[in-house]
Amino acid sequence: MTRNAGFAVGFVVLGLVCQEVGAAIATTLFPNAGPLGMVMLRLVFSAALLLIIARPALRGHHRSSWTAVVGFGLVLAVMNGFFYLALERLPLGVTVTIEVLGPLTLSIIVRRRASAWLWALLALTGAAALAGGGWDRLDPIGVLYALAAAASWAFYILASARVGRAFPRLDGLALAMTVGALVSLPFGIMDAGAALLDPMIIGLGAAVAVLSSTIPYALELLALRRLQASAFAVLMSLGPATAALAGFVLLGQHLSWLEIVGIALVVLASMGAVRSSAASRTAA
């Protein structure tokens, strides 16, 4: 491994750690601000930072481009909302593992190759192992929220690609994040209530936005300059494992051995799907 590649791997891992630390901090604030209140704070601060950094132009865009931005913003609000609602009921590692099933399923459907079904079977086995860990531990409503977040993440990938084609640099993301923040406002205010008057809650909400969005995104950009996209995607597949470790260290969330096996199988399925996709593109 070259020195640049080594740095890139470090950037990706650090980004994943920051993301899960942000999620852990958000979880500790649920009793005060509620999950939807934290979603609102994360999106509002993320939008503010992106608007300052990108300074997107508001003129010169087609109506279809604005439609894509609004759709992307709605997906951001819905995806984060379901994810945080799931976090309120499920361990961090389990929530992220179920959420990863969304983009994994999308990649399998899009490829339509026989080898893709091997990774689908492995992911399904991992999901079954998670369920086998005990439904007394896995709140059924939390699982439904996590599955909704997984479906939203699949739509997020499609919406992100559409906005990326319509807007330069970070302009589309900044505008979509603003739409998502506006959509989340009424739900967040109702859920958080008077907690929004607490400077500490506001400050920690800003920290969650920086840890969960700003720092990971910046580190991912730095990593992509030094790594091939396929290698980057494989490293990102470690998300469920990183989340499980963060949940254990920061939140004291212990997992059964069967749940750990389930997370490992989903991680392997994600890595396999990414590598298989990269290999088929190279052959083509």
CA-CA distances (angstroms) from residue 84 to 15, 69, 90? 19, 23, 10
Q: Any idea which residue has 């990414």 for tokens?
A: 274
Number of domains composing the chain: 1
CA separation for the pair 132, 136 (Å, rounded): 10
CA separation for the pair 124, 232 (Å, rounded): 24
How far does CA 8 lie from the centroid of its chain?
20
Give pLDDT tens digits for 243-256. 888 888 888 888 88
Give pLDDT tens digits for 171-211. 888 899 999 999 999 999 999 988 888 999 999 999 999 99
Amino acid symbol at 177: M
CA separation for the pair 95, 138 (Å, rounded): 10
Q: What is the pLDDT, as a whole number, of residue 39?
A: 94
Give pLDDT tens digits for 86-119. 999 988 888 888 888 777 776 666 665 666 667 7
| pLDDT of 283 higher than 90 | no
Is 87 buried (19+), middle (13-18) or exposed (0-12) by CB count in 10 A?
buried
Question: Could you list the residue range(s) of the whole structural domain that residue 167 is in?
Answer: 3-283
DSSP state letter for 168: -
Q: First vs last Cα of the chain: how many Å apart? A: 26
Q: What is the pLDDT, as a whole number, of residue 221?
A: 66
| pLDDT of 7 higher than 90 | no
Threshold 0.85, pTM exceeds: no
Range in 40-54, 133-147, 188-202, 223-237 with the lowest mean pLDDT:
223-237
- Average model confidence (pLDDT) across the chain: 82
